[in-house]
Amino acid sequence: MKSLHLRIMLVFSVLIIVSGSLLGYSIYSSSVRLITQSIGEQAHSIAQYAARQIDIRQYQEITPETGETPYYTELRLKFNELREANNLKYLYTMAARDNGSKKEYYYIVDGQPLDAPEDGSSELGEIEMIDNPYMIEAFAERKARVGELTKDEVYGATITAYVPIAGPNGEFVGVLGADFDASNIYELLQTNRRNMLMIAGGILLGAVIMIYFFSKMIVSPILRLTRNMNTIGQGDLTAAIEVKGRDEISRLTEAFRSMVQVLRTMIEAMRGGSGKLRQSVLELAHSAEMTNASSERISGHLKEAAVNAEAQAKYSSETARAIGEVGSGMERIADTLSYVARASEGAAEVSRTGNGLIREAVGKMEAIGRSAQAASGDMEQLAERTREVSEIVGEIRDLSAQTNLLALNASIEAARAGEHGQGFTVVADQVRKLAVQSEVSANRISELMLAMNEDTARAVSGVREETAQIEDGLSAVRMAGGAFGDILSEVEKVAGEIQDISAVSEEISAGTEQVVASASEMESLSRRTSDHFSGIAAAAVEQLDAVKQMKTSSDRLEEMSAELEQLAKQFRL
C-alpha cells in the first residue's frame, strides 16, 4: 500500500475495531458473569432453604421401588410453593445409581403442581437424559455447584444451583436442584448485545470519518512538501515553498526551505567560481600559446646559433691549418734565402687570404653574439611569462579549494536533509571530484612550471655564459686579425727590403708561432661554444615539450570548467 493516507486510516480503523471489540466483549462478559453470579447465588440460597425443609427420614423412604408416598405428595406441594414464591422454573431432587459401567441420574421429587401435564414434570424414577456437567460435579464432589446461564430447547434459558442432601448421619443422599428462569434476562442480554453492536458500529463509522479528515490533515502538508521536493529535484530552485503551522511537518518544511536557500547560494557561488575558473584557464591557455611561440622562436635561434658555431669551428680549423702553413713557409724562408722573394709573395697572398678569413670569422662571431643576446632576451621574457603562469596556477588552486569547500558544505547540508537530499549529495560529489581534478591538474601544471623555470634559468645562465665566451673569442679573433695585418705588412716590407730578410724572417717566425697558438685557442673555444649551443638547443626542445604539455593540461582544465559550468546550469536560480 503506497498511500500514507490509506495506511493511517487502515491502522487506526483496525486499532479502533480491535479495541472496541475487546472492550465490548469484556463488558458483555462481565455483565453475563455478574448476572449469572447474582442469580446463581439467589438460586443457591433457595436450594439450601428447600433442602433444609426436607424430612430426611421420610425422604429416604421415597424410591422408585416403593413409589409415591404421602410425604412425596407433601414435599412436592411444598416445593411447588417455594418455586412459585421465588420465581423458579424448576425445583427438584435427584439421586444417582450405577447401571453397569455407567452412572444414571434420576428424579425423586419434582416441585410441579399435582395436575401438571406429564411432559411438564418429571415423574419419580425418571432418568435425566441430558448430562449437565455441574450436576455431575455436584454428585461426584458432593458439594454445592452453581451453573452458568444456558439455553436449550427443552428447558429454555436457566441458571441452575445444586446443593447436596445429607442423611441423618451426614451420609450423601442426593442433590436438590433449583433452576431459575432466566428467559427475560437472556432476552435482555441479547437486546443489550444488539444495542452494543449498533453503538459500536456508529462509533466506528464516526471514528473512520474523523480518521479520514485527520489523516488528510496530516498527509496534505507532506504531499505539498513532496511536490516541492520533486520540483527542486528536477533542478528548479525557484519553487516557492509555503510553510503553514508550527508542527513537526511545518518545521521540516522550514528546514527544507532553508536548505534550498543554502543550496541556491552555493550553486550561485559555484557558477561564479566556474566562470572565474574558465576565465583563468583561458588566460593560462593564452599564456601557454605565447610561451609556446616564444619557445619555438628560441629553439629556432638556438639551432641557427648551433649551426653557426659549427661553421665557426670549421673556419677556425681551416684558419689554424692556414697559419700552420704560414709557419712552415717562414721556416723555409729562414732556411733558403734564394727563394725569399717567391716565398714572400706566397706569404703575402696567404696573409691576405687569412686576413679575409679572420674578418669573416669576426663577422660570424659578431652575428653569434647578437643571436646569443637575442636568445638571452627571449629566455628572460620566457621566464617572466612562466612567473605569470605560476600566478594563474595559484589562482586556479585557490578556486579549486573554494569549490571543494562549497561541495563539502553542500554534502553537509544534503546530509542534514536525510534521504530528501540524496540528489544534492550526488551533485556535491561530482562538484568535489571536479574540484579535486582541477587541483590535481593545477599541481601538475605548477610542477611543470617549476621544472620549466629551472630549465629556463639554466638556459639563461648558459646563454649568458656563451655570450661572454663568444665575446672572448671575438676579442681573440680580432687580435688574430691584427696579427695577420702585421704579418702582411712585414711580408710587404720583406718584398721591398730583401737585405733585411733574415731579421724580418725571425720576427715573422715568432709572430707566426703566436698566431698559431691563438688560432688553436680560438678553435678550442669555437668547439666548446658549439657544444654549449647544442645543449641549449636540447634544453629548448625539452622546454617546448613542457609548454605543449602545459597547454594540454590547460585544455583539460577548460573542459573541466565547462563541465562544472554545465552542472551549475542544471539548476534554475
CA nearest neighbour of 134 among 121, 143, 122, 124: 143
- Cα(432)–Cα(401) distance, rounded to whole angstroms? 10
Per-residue b/e over 114-127, b at no fewer than 16 CB within 10 Å? eeeeeeebbebeee
CA nearest neighbour of 225 among 263, 246, 248, 256: 256
Return the residue matching grid coordinates 427420614.
Answer: 57
- Cα(552)–Cα(281) distance, rounded to whole angstroms? 11
* The amino acid at 144: A
Q: Nine-digit cell at 354? A: 687569412
Instruction: Chunk the chain into consecutive blocks of 10 residues (it has 573) and report each block's average pLDDT, rounded to whole numbers.
Output: 70 82 78 78 90 91 90 93 89 90 90 81 87 89 86 75 90 92 78 84 86 80 78 74 73 79 76 71 71 70 65 63 63 62 66 73 71 71 74 76 80 78 74 77 76 73 72 70 68 64 63 63 68 67 71 75 70 62
107 sits in which H/E element: strand 102-110
What pTM was estimated for this model as a whole?
0.37
The pLDDT of residue 463 is 62
Cα 229 from chain centre: 18
Residue 470 CB contacts under 8 Å (≥ 6 apart), including other chains:
365, 368, 369, 372, 529
The pLDDT of residue 72 is 94
Domain ranges for the chain: 4-205, 256-569
The pLDDT of residue 163 is 95
- Cα(150)–Cα(109) distance, rounded to whole angstroms? 23
CATH of 4-205, one of 3.30.450.20, 3.40.190.10, 1.10.3720.10, 3.40.50.920: 3.30.450.20
> What torsion do the CA atoms of 339, 340, 342, 346 make, to the nearest 10 degrees?
130
- Beta pairing, strands 102-110 & 88-99: antiparallel
The pLDDT of residue 443 is 80
Give the architecture-level CATH label for domain 256-569.
Orthogonal Bundle (1.10)
CA nearest neighbour of 385 among 283, 466, 277: 283
- Cα(417)–Cα(14) distance, rounded to whole angstroms? 33
pLDDT by residue (tens digit) across 168-227? Answer: 888 899 999 998 887 777 787 788 888 888 888 888 888 888 888 877 777 777 777 787
pLDDT by residue (tens digit) across 456-510? Answer: 678 667 767 766 776 776 676 577 667 657 756 765 675 676 566 566 566 756 6
Are 368 and 529 in contact, with CB atoms under 8 Å apart? yes
- Please write down the HEC assignment for all residues of 469-512: HHHHHHHHHHHHHHHHHHHHHHHHHHHHCHHHHHHHHHHHHHHH
